[in-house]
Structure 1
Amino acid sequence: MTAFAEPVLHDRLERQAHNRVLVRGWLYVVLLMLFALVFVGGATRLTESGLSITEWKPIHGVIPPLSDAEWQEEFEKYRQIPEYQQINKGMSLDAFKTIFWWEWTHRLLARGVGFVFALPLAFFWVTGRLERSLKPKLVGILLLGAFQGAVGWWMVASGLVERTDVSQYRLATHLTIACIIFAATMVVARGLAPHSAPRSSPETRRFAGILLLLALIQIYLGGLVAGLNAGFAYNTWPLMDGSIVPGDLLVQQPWFLNFFENAKTVQFVHRMGGYVLFAAALWHVFAARSADRGSTHARRAVVFFHLVLVQAAIGITTLLTVVDIGWALLHQAFALVVLGFAAAHWRATRGSYPAETGVVVRS
């Protein structure tokens, strides 16, 4: 390397480090908004507010009813769907406004996340602050977010004609995609952070990825539980219907439908998923200590296990309180904490993204 090239390279590395701080800070803001979005989505579900807005207006829908006539018009649309006619018949306008504002806030946050992601992405791209390898990752997250908006309406539409609630299949899909977006954003943000520890052993790295997948699967199972209101079905622990393994888990035909449509089976599988994640997290503690003794990776494995332990306790409490709304919301929110830490831990075992010294900021 020539004497002239060294200061040029040093300057480019400094600029890249500065750009990474900016991009990472933006992604952390996105993560906070995604967390709020999923939290409000959970509250919307638990308050049975998700069908209160019966139309999908991505642009015009940002403006809520502003007059008594507009409120009456919106309420009249809600009166036409099965949920009102079979469950909420006779609901007052004030009660309707309560469920309307939950769904409206959820949709407004979703739009907000889109803007907070897309506009800074365009700015960083145009000003040359994005590394080449980041561009497809961030565009992929943006496209997945746009797809999620369509999935959200697809979910709501399932409860507007024949059903009094949304399809559990669509609800679980909607929740899972939101969590994939959250995890992917966390992975990119963590990859931009400077790492004090070297890459972990391959064993620790692989198992950290397995834990991330298990956490995501458990959230999907939780979405099925929420969609079927299966949490209300059996509210004892550790026994379920008087047994560790209750009967009548496969009463529906064909048998595989029980795993998606039988509330008893769905709750049981969600419980078993929790046990599997707990055991895997505990195994990871000992395996990481053996393979990466004394490293930050081993210490993060311990932290992750304790997060899973806390989440299990919250889940059991939610069950025993017959799905108290406060505990249920905490259970969903802490699931994101577990997922986010799993994503960050997995990325940390792989180290930071390699430096790209060709990144130059255009003035």
Structure 2
Amino acid sequence: MLPTFWARCPGLKTRNSRILRELHQSTPRSRILLNNRAPQALSALRNVSHGVNILSSLRGQTRSLTGALASKRVSFDPRFFSSNASVSLSAEHLSDAETSSHSTKPEELPTLTPPPVAMWLLASSALVFAVIVVGGVTRLTESGLSITEWKPITGILPPLGKADWEEAFEKYKATPEFKMINHSISLSDFKRIFYMEWGHRVLGRLIGLGFVIPLVYFASRRVLPRSLARNLTLYALLIGAQGALGWYMVKSGLEDALLETPGAVPRVSQYRLAAHLGTAFVLYAGMFSTGISILTDWRWAKNGTWGGLKNTGSGAVWKVLETPSVRRFTRYSKLLTGLVFITALSGAFVAGLDAGLLYNEFPLMGGRIAPPSDELFSPLYAQKPDGSDIWWRNIFENPTTVQFNHRCLAITTYFSTAALFLASRRPALRAALPPLARKMILSAFAMANIQVLLGISTLLYLVPVPLAAMHQAGSVMLLTTMVHLLVSLRRPGAAARLWRQAHLGSRKAASS
């Protein structure tokens, strides 16, 4: 505004310069002539002086107003965390002597995902946890083959009248499961197993709607960074693929070829069951870890809380993470998380083959540490003439071998968790680990003990539905503790680091 005001006064500047030049360069004769114009010149000079005073006053008021506004924005304002955040900060605000030796150029801060997104993801992961447990109960009650069709839209409604129920029951009577096992059940018995499978499918649809609709909302509000939006879109596609995979699994138990196979049992393919359960585990771990990471990044950017430590500088965070013992602990934690995941998948093969109904004793199997080798690798499971597939087919299709493998993996997982927990109790590593990491490895070890007890009880009591369902839920809880442990050992995201640096810079500017 001030340069514009001054630019609009060329006449005033020109007149002033001309009068001063004449007064300075005039001869004695011209001074006599100028004396008659002196009052006019003095009046002009007074006008110029008055204008300069006005401009100086306006400049002072502008500086005062700017300083007042700056003082109002010294404190951390959560409103900056939005899709419209385009705060251009100076290099002083973006630089952090603790993490970088060079200054950062002024630029817009990246989008920092707000906590509501984290709450939505954690709620979605809780629904996935529920559908895993309900799916396990559905399998244990042999209800999974009661619905013989897949209707993604209209299938959300159960049969509404007697005629609809009779039609659904007639379709079930044509399945191998009814002909070989449930040929004596009544319509009321059919309704019981039908509602179990229907509830599982409806819960899966609710997960899809509860994920896709908020995803579209948050993406339209531009509160999701581009990389996060891409990953969440992949999760949405995976949820849709999970529904198709579930029907592909159910379809394997409805094939008429089971009626012609000697010794066949009407059940779904253990391969498809493991794929279906494994996909659910991936979805759960992805949603849970992303939600927890968003919350930890937000706390770090807002108040410097990280890993249970409060008001920590960036340098302290990097120093802890770069400690050789912590890096080694993190590497072992990742390996243990993978082992937990593989052990859970092996449980899917046990469930698919009903292998838990064999050798209901522990720790021995038929009075021995391991069954005979000819039973573990029976030639009856080889399908090629040369028997070259005997190894992998026994590993995945022989119930005895599948149970033995699951036992070995479970024992290995338990002792690995115990070893990692004991390592975290050593004074040097205990002092270096963040408090949250110490809590999570303790929780993982406690959950591993509970899971072992549930697994042994399920085996000894011939796989009762309540114990078996709790055992499957325990595998998800153990995976949860390990995922949370990995999140507690991660570095805050790039966006959180920049926001934290900007906050520290504003505090330094306020104190100076």
The bucket for the TM-score relative to the shorter chain is over 0.9
Residue by residue, what CA displacement relative to the aligned partner does 1:236-277 show, whole Å, maximum 9, x if unpaired? 011111111221211133122111111010001000011111
Match of 1:239 in 2: 364
1:250 and 2:316 equivalent?
Answer: no
Residue by residue, what CA displacement relative to the aligned partner does 1:170-191 show, whole Å, maximum 9, x if unpaired? 1111111101111111110121
1:176 and 2:303 equivalent?
Answer: no
Residue by residue, what CA displacement relative to the aligned partner does 1:132-156 show, whole Å, maximum 9, x if unpaired? 3311221121121111111101100
Summarize the alignment of residues 8-157 of structure 1 with structure 2, pairs less than 5 Å apart. Answer: 10-11=76-77, 15=81, 19-157=113-251
8 Å Cα contact 1:191-1:351 kept in structure 2:
no
CA distance in 1, matches of 2:157, 2:232: 29
Within the candidate set 319, 335, 349, 2:475 is matched to: 335
Number of matched residues? 357
SS at match of 1:245: coil
CA distance in 1, matches of 2:328, 2:295: 22
- Cα offset, 1:20, TM superposition: 2.5
SS at match of 2:430: coil
Within the candidate set 486, 489, 493, 1:353 is matched to: 493
SS at match of 1:220: helix
- Cα offset, 1:288, TM superposition: 3.2
1:303 and 2:405 equivalent?
Answer: no
SS at match of 2:242: helix
**Alpha carbons of structure 1 residues 5 and 100: separation in structure 2 relative to 1, 3 Å:** farther
Stretch deviating more after TM superposition (141-150 or 110-119): 141-150
Summarize the alignment of residues 256-267 of structure 1 with structure 2, pairs less than 5 Å apart. Answer: 256-267=392-403
Within the candidate set 337, 343, 359, 1:212 is matched to: 337
CA distance in 1, matches of 2:487, 2:270: 31
5+ unaligned residues in a row in structure 1: which ranges?
359-363
TM-score by length of 2: 0.66
SS at match of 1:293: helix
CA distance in 2, matches of 1:37, 1:270: 23
1:190 and 2:284 equivalent?
Answer: no
- Cα offset, 1:298, TM superposition: 2.8
Match of 2:429 in 1: 292
CA distance in 2, matches of 1:179, 1:213: 12
Residue by residue, what CA displacement relative to the aligned partner does 1:200-257 show, whole Å, maximum 9, x if unpaired? 4211211121121111101110000000000011100111111112212111331221
Stretch deviating more after TM superposition (240-249 or 7-16): 7-16
CA distance in 2, matches of 1:54, 1:219: 28
What amino acid does structure 2 have at the position aligned with 1:282? A
8 Å Cα contact 2:143-2:197 kept in structure 1:
yes
Residue by residue, what CA displacement relative to the aligned partner does 1:107-126 show, whole Å, maximum 9, x if unpaired? 00000000111111111110
Stretch deviating more after TM superposition (19-28 or 309-318): 19-28
1:270 and 2:406 equivalent?
Answer: yes
Residue by residue, what CA displacement relative to the aligned partner does 1:19-41 show, whole Å, maximum 9, x if unpaired? 52101111111121111101110
8 Å Cα contact 1:292-1:298 kept in structure 2:
no
TM-score by length of 1: 0.92
Match of 1:361 in 2: none
5+ unaligned residues in a row in structure 2: which ranges?
1-65, 83-110, 259-265, 297-305, 310-316, 383-389, 500-512
CA distance in 2, matches of 1:189, 1:77: 43
What amino acid does structure 2 have at the position aligned with 1:264? T
**Alpha carbons of structure 1 residues 56 and 286: separation in structure 2 relative to 1, 3 Å:** same
CA distance in 2, matches of 1:327, 1:130: 41
- Report which of the two structures shows the higher radius of gyration computed on alpha carbons: 2
Q: Which has the higher contact order (CA 8 A, sep 6+)?
A: 1
**Alpha carbons of structure 1 residues 87 and 292: separation in structure 2 relative to 1, 3 Å:** same
What amino acid does structure 1 have at the position aligned with 2:481? F
CA distance in 1, matches of 2:80, 2:438: 30
SS at match of 2:114: helix
